[in-house]
Amino acid sequence: MQVPSSPPDQPAIQARNPLHGLTLEAIVTALVGHYGWAGLGQRIPVRCFTSDPSMASSLKFLRKTPWARDKVEGLYLFMLREVRRSGAGGQR
């Protein structure tokens, strides 16, 4: 009898991952909603955000460019922390 090769704690790891279950479109939409296209282009200076930005062109570029996707995901995580801090700070 063979034991499955996937570790039993894998679901627990994914449950703590804030990106788990989010689409790239949802991440970019949230960033645009928070920073706007101009603010997003200032933080990640790539043409798809700075020159005639659109969701379609951004998604196409990010799906083909791993380093840019990593930057977008990192900025999204930073934005989540920023939002949590500002929300918690106002409740003191």
pTM of the model: 0.77
All structural domains of the chain with their residue ranges: 23-89
Domain 23-89 of CATH type 3.40.630.30: no
pLDDT per residue over 60-83, tens digit each?
A: 999 999 999 999 999 999 999 999
Q: What's residue 20's pLDDT?
A: 86
pLDDT at 57: 96
- Residues in the chain where the model's pLDDT stays below 70: 1-15, 88-92
What pLDDT does 92 receive? 45
Give dist(CA 89, CA 84) in Å, integer. 8
To the nearest whole number, what is the mean pLDDT of the chain? 86
Q: How far apart are CA 10 and CA 75, in angstroms?
A: 25
Q: Is 47 helix (H, G, I), strand (E, B) or coil?
A: helix
